[in-house]
Structure 1
């Protein structure tokens, strides 16, 4: 439009076409014109009443709705608003354009059309040849009335639902059909010839649920060039009828349940096939020889293919991409198989059972064209075969047998090309410098690296170097990595202090320094706007107070400061973090009581809290438990939060469960844990804890808790591990705990509990050590039988105390005396007991008194 001359004839302007007879503007093509702003209803555009073609595609009308005035173009045959950033509801007036041959309204999720208007549009636009509503939110079933003139129908990502009408497959002139990823759309393939089969060129039904075998009827599509049936829940073998697809160029059956062997004719008798994608299925058996020169891309990854790779791979002279990872291929694979494939861009052989060798008389190298290489777990011992690969952008040599150091020529070759480097899980001992100018991901985890921490280039976003033998201090120059998103230094021998400047890297999301020898205090300044979501310093020698500036990290979800030497009170101010899910402060020197919060909402998302092995005192904080809303409702999806970075990093935390410390990996949304064990908490267990019904692990052991176990704990329907041992709890075990059907570990030992142990499905699985140290408990599995509480059972009492006949007689006489006392008066009974104890065996005195108290109590209950 910059070339438009306002003083000249508009019919001569670029993009403007006029009728030669009338001079009226009949075509306006302003596509890709960098137009911005809105198109209001009073725009002069709508004065062009004779328009037959209007193309406004690929502009930016952000914030602009499609005006109802578009419905005034009664002569319009082509309307193209594709990729122009319109939003809002598509007006029903579009259905007035009855002469339309082509309508393109791609919405990228911002446009919507109500079900009624969608059906009206299809009903009125009977001349349509092309309809593209990709990414428009339709949320409707598919009507039956489509224009019989349609050649192109694109309605992918539109939230269509229901069943695809079979009539669509029989549209006589259809060349392109795309209904992809409109969940939860389902359908059935025609069992016989499709009416449109002679003309159909492109078919994309990815994401449509067919729940059926790949149909034989696909073989009728003799003109088709592209078929995409990803994620269609298809099963069974590949039908032989696909041999008829002699024009097919792109066949994508990715992520289904297809099985059997891959037919040999797919590599020899489909002369036009250039792209074959069969990944993530259940294909097995060996690969047959490749006899087709047309193949440019092969993706057979994530199957169960086995045997040797066919030597005929070296004949695929046009091959650009080859994905064979995650299978069961075995044997030696010589580099020479790929060295002559001069167009090869991508090669992935990771995670098979192969050994990469280079045994030719003249050692082979991979082609210079290579851009991406995946050889994880391929028994690679050296990298000499990569000397010619000077354009590598992504390199995965993880889980191999590389030793020593990466040669200088490799760093030099890839200095300006490599963006992703993974050489983790090898036997490298030294990395002095990483002279890569464009790299953003470096993974050196699980090697034998020694010496000081190498500082990566400033372009680095993700740096992983955990599980090595690095020593020395962390240089403050690491703060120059202003693009850093993840820094994983865990499980090394790094010492000294944490650079204070790390708290100022605004884009840093993960900072993991657990299990090192770091000392000193935490950085005191964490800036506002921090992106930090996971902060793990577990297992160091850090001291001092927990810095209050952590409250600035509003994105923080995981905070693990356990196993250090922090001296502080409970940081209730952390409760202001709106997304915090995991808080571990275990094994420090934290002390004092946990005071009631001063604000109404705290820890709204907290699912794991571990305060064990500290010196907290006072009563258990009922007011804190009241606020743990995320623990009061189970997560309905039980799905973990997925981050883009999770390809490389997994959150983890150590919790005490079922009597053991266990590291839980990918913890978010999977476990709900409360561990206040090994402190000095007193008072009673608050009954409000029964409201935390999403809890999986509850550990209050080794404190100074008193009183009864609240029956409300029987509401914790998901609890798997319950440990209340090592306290001073008394009374009976609540019968309500029998309903805990998920409970697989119970420890009530070393308390003052008494009475009958409840019997139920889970309680039958617990052994005696769950109850030891509670002399008043009776019933399975302890040795004392519970019996009938209303009737004295001399034999059970005898067996519980001793098997010797003299003791049995003594105790039998004792209980007779006790009952005499109960019937005739407590004083007389106690006198008789005192006399019998003074002449009998005094070692039973303690147990006799306990048993007597219980019998008297039961008698009183019966009386009342």
Structure 2
């Protein structure tokens, strides 16, 4: 039967619907299969990424140990010699210093640095692109769309660039605002167009691309080897603690860096060198940071304003070799835990307010080479355990309140070169065991209460150059064994109770340049002939019982520059040959019985700066000593003159122009009856000119802005 058109169309529609249903069913099946495969691929990719992350971490940990520490050039405060910064123990090995920029974490993308800053616009990139940038060592792209702020301190330097840095998110603190007080040359290499790990001065990265060194010291040399001194103001940012691979942080000598050390620094467990000296930092040291510094080898906090007690947690710094906390306001005691620092080689705690006893545990530091506890408030005795410091070279306890005796165990310090116990209250006899310390160069025991005789064993100290024992209660004779000290340059035994003759054997001391035996009851009568064999530049023999005339044995010396024969019983005239002592700069003959006129040859002492002739019986015309316009200009550079209590007469002309005199004019000067002319112009004198009966011209007082009164204008009197 023939089908009509309507029926045909219906059948075709059913077939078409069936075909579409079949296609949809097949598509759904394919989608399910695709989704399952995609899920499997995603799981596999996630597993691969996990493996990659763990392998990368392991490689980074291995690589970071091979990065060298960068040393920063600097200038010492003495001698003009260059050395590494800071003063104590900076490594001399170096690598090319570079810098790596840092970023905010995602949670910090809207954080503002200050009230005027805008939120940071952050572009997060794919893992593949991030890895590509990591492989290329890029810190920025160059489209300059975003601004980051790298925060070393709270006021810093604006950088522009892509937020897609190659470091990890946990290493991404904020970057900086601006540095208005910092020398522009210090950060001139920090540009967004350059690779921070290759071009930024003061930043160094490891082969893994992580920041290991940040060195922004304020003292360095530029590429032309010129000295550069810079400053940075602000506080240390806690965000530096996100640099978890950091090994060296040097922010020393920036002068106006202030505030505390952030406790977040406890996160820097890989840190080996921390240099923050010569700044304006303050506050109490966070206890927590020292618990984490197990890798730290050197820490310098000198010349700041830190206060409070040194935390006992310093005992956790088991790798430390240098600890420098000098010139701060630390108080309290030295913690006993310091004895746990078995690798410590240098300990500087001088110029603080530290009190209490010297801890017994210090004796456990067998590697310690230098111990400085000067200028504190330490009291009690020096512990016998000090003998355990078998490596120590310098032991310095100056200016404390130590009492008791020096323990005999001091004789165990076989490597000691300097012993400094001056300005304390130590007593008892000097230990003979000191004579065993044959490497000693310097002994400073002055201003204590030592008694007894000088040990003859001191003669064994063949390398000794400085022996300073003044202001004690030492008795007995000067031991002849000191003549064996062939290297001795300075011998100061003044202000003791030594008696007897000076041993003639001391003539062997050909390197001796300074001898001070003043204020000892030696009853010398005169200086022995063998004194002419010495090469002395400074001879101090005040109140040693000298009698008779001026010691002729000194008259042939042209190298003595300082001579003190005051407070003796010397009499007679000064010999004309005194004019041969042409190198004299300081001469003190006061409180003797010298008489008659000063010889005219005295004017040959053209180097004289300090002259004290007071309390003698000198007489005659003194004018030639102060002769003006002579060549060479005799006495043109006096720093001190005392001619009082004599019988000088005649015309006295005193010229003290351009001598850098300061304060006021003593009235005694203008009351000298023999004074006829005076010139004190061109100095720094101030105050009212004393009333006098002379007619000195105004020119005699000009060039002293602070002077007033006749013949100058009257002083302004404030009511």
Relative to the length of structure 2, the TM-score reads 0.62
How do residues 8-27 of structure 1 correspond to structure 2 at under 5 angstroms?
none
**Does the 8 Å contact 1:190/1:217 carry over to 2?**
no
In structure 2, C-alpha distance between the alignment counterparts of 1:540 and 1:382, rounded to whole Å: 45
Unaligned runs of 5+ in 2: 1-69, 76-94, 99-182, 204-209, 221-226
| 1:71 match | 190
* 1:288-339, Cα deviation, whole Å (9 max, x unpaired): 21341232221122222222222222222222222222222222334x2211
Deviation of 1:119 (Å):
4.2
* 1:545-604, Cα deviation, whole Å (9 max, x unpaired): 653532x24134799999xxx8425877777563779x9xxxxxxxxxx86x764xxxxx
**Does the 8 Å contact 1:519/1:542 carry over to 2?**
no
| 1:514 match | 644
| 1:278 match | 397
Q: 1:542 and 1:190, CA in 2 relative to 1: closer, same or farther beyond 3 A?
A: closer
In structure 2, C-alpha distance between the alignment counterparts of 1:411 and 1:109, rounded to whole Å: 50
Q: 2:470 aligns with which of 346, 350, 354?
A: 350
In structure 1, C-alpha distance between the alignment counterparts of 2:321 and 2:199, rounded to whole Å: 24
Deviates further, 571-580 or 229-238: 571-580
Deviation of 1:227 (Å):
0.8
Corresponding residue SS for 2:530: helix
| 2:301 match | 179
Corresponding residue SS for 1:312: helix
Deviation of 1:434 (Å):
4.5
Corresponding residue SS for 1:306: strand
Q: Does 1:381 align with 2:500?
A: yes
| 1:816 match | none
How do residues 658-807 of structure 1 correspond to structure 2 at under 5 angstroms?
691=719
In structure 1, C-alpha distance between the alignment counterparts of 2:566 and 2:689, rounded to whole Å: 21
Q: Does 1:425 align with 2:546?
A: no
| 1:770 match | none
**Does the 8 Å contact 1:187/1:208 carry over to 2?**
no
In structure 2, C-alpha distance between the alignment counterparts of 1:252 and 1:423, rounded to whole Å: 33
| 2:50 match | none
| 1:137 match | 255
Deviation of 1:398 (Å):
1.0
| 2:357 match | 237
| 1:578 match | 704
Q: 1:359 and 1:191, CA in 2 relative to 1: closer, same or farther beyond 3 A?
A: closer
Q: 1:302 aligns with which of 415, 418, 423?
A: 423
In structure 2, C-alpha distance between the alignment counterparts of 1:263 and 1:156, rounded to whole Å: 30
Q: Which has the higher contact order (CA 8 A, sep 6+)?
A: 2
* 1:232-284, Cα deviation, whole Å (9 max, x unpaired): 211121222223212111111112222222112212x2221222112222222
Q: 1:392 aligns with which of 486, 498, 512?
A: 512
In structure 2, C-alpha distance between the alignment counterparts of 1:553 and 1:408, rounded to whole Å: 46
Q: Does 1:372 align with 2:519?
A: no
How do residues 161-180 of structure 1 correspond to structure 2 at under 5 angstroms?
161-170=282-291, 171-180=293-302
Q: 1:541 and 1:321, CA in 2 relative to 1: closer, same or farther beyond 3 A?
A: same
Q: 1:139 and 1:319, CA in 2 relative to 1: closer, same or farther beyond 3 A?
A: same
In structure 1, C-alpha distance between the alignment counterparts of 2:646 and 2:261, rounded to whole Å: 64
| 1:316 match | 437
| 2:597 match | 473
In structure 2, C-alpha distance between the alignment counterparts of 1:333 and 1:549, rounded to whole Å: 51
Corresponding residue SS for 1:387: helix
* 1:189-225, Cα deviation, whole Å (9 max, x unpaired): 2224544x21111111112222202211211211101
Corresponding residue SS for 1:210: strand
Q: 2:380 aligns with which of 260, 266, 270?
A: 260
* 1:417-471, Cα deviation, whole Å (9 max, x unpaired): x333322222223323344444433222222222334447333332222222222
Deviation of 1:376 (Å):
0.8
| 2:331 match | 211
* 1:808-857, Cα deviation, whole Å (9 max, x unpaired): xxxxxxxxxxxxxxxxxxxxxxxxxxxxxxxxxxxxxxxxxxxxxxxxxx
In structure 1, C-alpha distance between the alignment counterparts of 2:583 and 2:422, rounded to whole Å: 31
* 1:646-698, Cα deviation, whole Å (9 max, x unpaired): xxxxxxxxxxxxxxxxxxxxxxxxxxxxxxxxxxxxxxxxxxxxx4xxxxxxx
**Does the 8 Å contact 1:338/1:366 carry over to 2?**
no
In structure 2, C-alpha distance between the alignment counterparts of 1:308 and 1:507, rounded to whole Å: 45
In structure 2, C-alpha distance between the alignment counterparts of 1:29 and 1:230, rounded to whole Å: 24
In structure 1, C-alpha distance between the alignment counterparts of 2:667 and 2:644, rounded to whole Å: 4
| 2:611 match | 487
Size of the alignment, in residue pairs? 511
In structure 2, C-alpha distance between the alignment counterparts of 1:120 and 1:506, rounded to whole Å: 60
Q: 2:684 aligns with which of 538, 550, 555?
A: 555
Q: Does 1:160 align with 2:275?
A: no
| 1:246 match | 366
Unaligned runs of 5+ in 1: 1-26, 33-50, 55-63, 82-96, 584-593, 600-622, 633-690, 692-864
| 2:527 match | 406
Corresponding residue SS for 1:445: coil
Q: 1:192 and 1:185, CA in 2 relative to 1: closer, same or farther beyond 3 A?
A: closer
In structure 2, C-alpha distance between the alignment counterparts of 1:368 and 1:168, rounded to whole Å: 50
**Does the 8 Å contact 2:356/2:379 carry over to 1?**
yes
Deviation of 1:370 (Å):
0.9
Q: 1:159 and 1:522, CA in 2 relative to 1: closer, same or farther beyond 3 A?
A: farther
Q: 2:583 aligns with which of 439, 450, 459?
A: 459
Relative to the length of structure 1, the TM-score reads 0.52
| 1:694 match | none
Q: 1:278 and 1:413, CA in 2 relative to 1: closer, same or farther beyond 3 A?
A: same
In structure 2, C-alpha distance between the alignment counterparts of 1:538 and 1:250, rounded to whole Å: 51
**Does the 8 Å contact 2:259/2:280 carry over to 1?**
no
Q: 1:112 aligns with which of 228, 231, 247?
A: 231
Corresponding residue SS for 1:487: strand
* 1:366-406, Cα deviation, whole Å (9 max, x unpaired): 41111121101231432225222221122221101342222
Corresponding residue SS for 2:290: helix
**Does the 8 Å contact 2:580/2:604 carry over to 1?**
no
Deviation of 1:476 (Å):
4.8
Deviates further, 148-157 or 205-214: 148-157
Corresponding residue SS for 2:259: coil
In structure 2, C-alpha distance between the alignment counterparts of 1:122 and 1:498, rounded to whole Å: 72
**Does the 8 Å contact 1:141/1:163 carry over to 2?**
no
Q: 1:287 aligns with which of 400, 406, 417?
A: 406
Q: 1:288 and 1:459, CA in 2 relative to 1: closer, same or farther beyond 3 A?
A: same
Q: Does 1:531 align with 2:660?
A: yes
**Does the 8 Å contact 1:515/1:537 carry over to 2?**
no
